[in-house]
Amino acid sequence: MIINHPLLGPRDASEFTYLGDAALIERPDWQSETAQDEFHDYVYLRDNPAGTHRELWFHEQGDRSWLVVTRNTMTHEILATELARDVARKMGRGK
Amino acid sequence: MRYSALAILRQVLNGHRGWGPAWRDPEPQSDYDFIVIGGGGHGLATAYYLAKEHNAARVAVLEKGWIGGGNVGRNTTIIRANYLLDGNQPFYELSLKLWENLEQDLNYNAMVSQRGILNLCHTDSQRDAYRRRGNAMMFTDSGAELLDTDGVRAMYPFLNFDDARFPILGGLLHRRGGTARHDGVAWGYARAADQRGVDIIQNCEVTGFRIENGKVLGVETTRGYIGAKKVGVAVAGSSGRVMAHAGLRLPIESHVLQAFVSEGLKPVLDGVITYGAGHFYISQSDKGGLVFGGDIDGYNTYAQRGNLPVVEDVVEGGMSLMPMIGRTRLLRMWGGVMDMSMDGSPFIDHTGVDGLYFNGGWCYGGFKATPASGFCFAHLMATDRPHEVATAYRLDRFRTGRMIDERGAGAQPNLH
């Protein structure tokens, strides 16, 4: 697989390590009344879709940035790549 | 028909005209006592043990494609009971005991061969870890021997013993482990289940569950609605897709594991070897092909194929362990979709829905578990109580903190 890095252009997927579903960006509020249940779901449960999947890749052998890659899990086709930083900011997270 | 030497002789005299199909191809009935979704090794074994151990009369196995066409036809056929943790080892020992008597029980040649598994160690700390694992295996009388370098050399003189970075310091030998003929396992269970009255319904994809007031009433399929008192799901690889019909999110990611077979060779390897310095394991099939594999690719996928970096990694592992295989040509490589769970261990449990049971999360170790998985899942479905060796395989274990994390890698499925 070739991941089209938003800053560096096309890079081989073997330069990256894989974390998982991009929903992991949305860490629950630890002060919430239901934080225990929310953290259980956050840490352990996954949608695991067959089809379009947004996921976090870390460019470990490159510029060490986190990417959100939108990829089809049936075909391995990569549909979009974004910097995770930008995605998080759009969600109102991070600085 | 019972298979025996006498049956063969009779068919020889009869010109081999009397061999019937090994199982029927029935139309689905309107309802059953038990429906097992998934006609792979685990599903067929579940149906067989429901009929055999629990005298269940009205059992159906529903299979989307053809039986044995999923992971039971795609694995590297290794059977073993060499786990460390309490939640696992007694279960796999039960499985190994069932393997040892499988062919007599099913009246089918599954080519179970206890040729021994040798896990090699390359550092002092790894040897200590194997000593500990071996002791844990001896608690269940599974058999474990710690070999030193000379012991390994006597078995496999062709290994790369004096590698500067990863010399072979010894190994943990599990003599009762070995291999079996994967397709034969599916076919043997199918035939034996069919003979006990189980309906095996192929080309029948489950498209939904009918659930009312928290109780399952039956399943919607591509061949119409089928009612059932109890429904068990054993579709590892597709667990998320099927259980989503019941509104369940699972502690599972789907990943691909690749496997490889070389061209046929004269006998060179009479057991199973695992390389401790990389992830590589190898055996030789009875046809002569070297069967080997390594790590999963490491990203979510439902495609039954992987990518080249892992191929390179696996063959590098093979070359550094057994340089003699360097001139061997690869014949085939393929991928299978694994249910990778959050602690690397499986599930055999109730779901929140009354009458709906779940079996999955086998990671890349489902084949060896086939008999015990079916045995324990049938026990759970028939009695509503977990079998005593499968009590730890609960879906809620992450909530209660009772993980079974052999690898110690945490909630990161691609590291297990």
Angle subtended at Cα B274 by Cα B272 and Cα B275, rounded to the nearest 5 degrees: 145
How far apart CA A27 and CA B175 sit, in angstroms, is 47
Q: What per-residue confidence (pLDDT) applies to A94?
A: 73
Q: Any CB–CB contact under 8 A between B415 and chain A?
A: no
Q: What per-residue confidence (pLDDT) applies to A95?
A: 66
What residues of chain A lie within 8 A of the CB of B399, using their CB? 40, 44
pLDDT tens, residue by residue, B17-58: 999 999 999 999 999 999 999 999 999 999 999 999 999 999
Beta strands at B117-121 and B280-284: parallel, antiparallel or unpaired: unpaired
Domain B5-107+182-251+343-415 listed as CATH 3.40.50.2300:
no
Interface test with A, best of B302, B363, B395, B404 (most A CBs within 10 A): B302
Q: Any CB–CB contact under 8 A between B10 and chain A?
A: no
- A74 → closest Cβ in B252, B299, B302: B302
Domain edges within chain A: 2-90
Domain A2-90's class? Answer: alpha beta
Average pLDDT rounded to a whole number, residues B3-24: 95
pLDDT tens, residue by residue, B127-136: 999 999 999 9
Average pLDDT, chain B: 96
Q: Report ipTM (2 d.p.).
A: 0.95
Average pLDDT rounded to a whole number, residues B154-174: 96
The CA distances from residue B98 to B89, B279, B317, B361, B364, in Å, are 14, 28, 32, 21, 20
Interface test with B, best of A12, A19, A44 (most B CBs within 10 A): A44
pLDDT tens, residue by residue, B60-72: 999 999 999 999 9
How far apart CA B32 and CA B28 sit, in angstroms, is 9
pLDDT tens, residue by residue, A54-88: 999 999 999 999 999 999 999 999 999 999 999 99
Average pLDDT rounded to a whole number, residues B81-95: 97
pLDDT tens, residue by residue, B383-396: 999 999 999 999 99
Closest among A84, A44, A55 to A67, alpha carbons compared = A84
pLDDT tens, residue by residue, B200-228: 999 999 999 999 999 999 999 999 999 99
* B360 DSSP β-pair partners: B347
Contacts of A71 (CB under 8 A, 6+ apart): A1, A52, A53, A55, A77, A78, A79, B299
Predicted confidence band of residue B195 (pLDDT cuts 50, 70, 90): very high
CA atoms within 13 Å, Cβ hemisphere of B185: 36
CATH of domain B117-176+253-341: 3.30.9.10
**Adjacency order of strands within the sheet including A17-21:** A17-21, A52-58, A66-72, A78-83
pLDDT tens, residue by residue, B223-253: 999 999 999 999 999 999 999 999 999 999 9
At B129, phi and psi to the nearest 5? -65, -40
What residues of chain A lie within 8 A of the CB of B254, using their CB? 48, 50, 73
How far apart CA B202 and CA B208 sit, in angstroms, is 17
Contacts of B365 (CB under 8 A, 6+ apart): none
Q: Where, residue-wise, is CATH 3.50.50.60 in chain B?
A: 5-107+182-251+343-415
Q: What per-residue confidence (pLDDT) applies to B1?
A: 84
Q: What per-residue confidence (pLDDT) applies to B188?
A: 98
Percentage of the residues of chain B whose pLDDT score is greater than 70: 100
Angle subtended at Cα B168 by Cα B172 and Cα B150, rounded to the nearest 5 degrees: 75
Q: What per-residue confidence (pLDDT) applies to B329?
A: 95
Closest among B324, B335, B392 to B83, alpha carbons compared = B392
Enumerate residues 226 to 255 of chain B having a beta carbon within 8 A of any beta carbon in chain A: 238, 240-241, 249-254
Q: What per-residue confidence (pLDDT) applies to B197?
A: 97
Whether A48 and B342 lie within 8 Å, measured CB to CB? no
Asked if the model's pLDDT at residue B291 lies above 90, the reply is yes
Q: What per-residue confidence (pLDDT) applies to B189?
A: 98
Average pLDDT rounded to a whole number, residues B315-341: 95
List helix spans (H) across B274-405: 308-321, 366-383, 397-400
Interface test with B, best of A17, A42, A46 (most B CBs within 10 A): A46
Beta strands at B117-121 and B272-275: parallel, antiparallel or unpaired: parallel
pLDDT tens, residue by residue, A1-50: 999 999 999 999 999 999 999 999 999 999 999 999 999 999 999 999 99
Whether A40 and B399 lie within 8 Å, measured CB to CB? yes
What residues of chain A lie within 8 A of the CB of B412, using their CB? 19-20
Q: Where, residue-wise, is CATH 3.30.9.10 in chain B?
A: 117-176+253-341
Average pLDDT rounded to a whole number, residues B80-93: 97
